[in-house]
Amino acid sequence: MALIENPNLNEGERVSILKNRKIGAMVVEKVVQKNDWLINNAILRLLLKNPHLPTNKILFILSRIKMSDLLKIINDESINPGIRKIASGLYSQENK
């Protein structure tokens, strides 16, 4: 947990941490609260792939994703089907 508090982590190091799907729910929850982490779409996509992402944070994360990345999420079979369905609905709404 102390690692994610390090202000000197670069984007690559942050991505490496989140690629580990074994990180616990407490770490995921902390990351979701860090606005400086949530400006990177790769990090947002990795959060959506993590099984410990709290359900109440899914829309929050999806709302920060670029439209072009929503398509990647919709087509990424490693992401929970429920999250992909929500992403599909958001994409449809934006492209009416």
pTM for this model (two decimals): 0.88
Q: What is the pLDDT of residues 56-95, one digit of tens each?
A: 999 999 999 999 899 999 999 999 999 999 999 999 998 8
pLDDT cut 90: percent of the chain above it: 74
Residues 89 and 59 sit within 8 Å (Cβ to Cβ): no
Task: Give me the number of domains the chain comprises.
Answer: 1
For 60-88, b/e burial (b = at least 16 CB within 10 A) is ebbebbeeebbeebbebeebeeebbebbe
Q: Please state, in angstroms and rounded to a whole number, the distance separating the CA atoms of residues 49 and 88.
A: 16
Domain span at residue 12? 2-94
For residue 1, pLDDT beyond 70? no
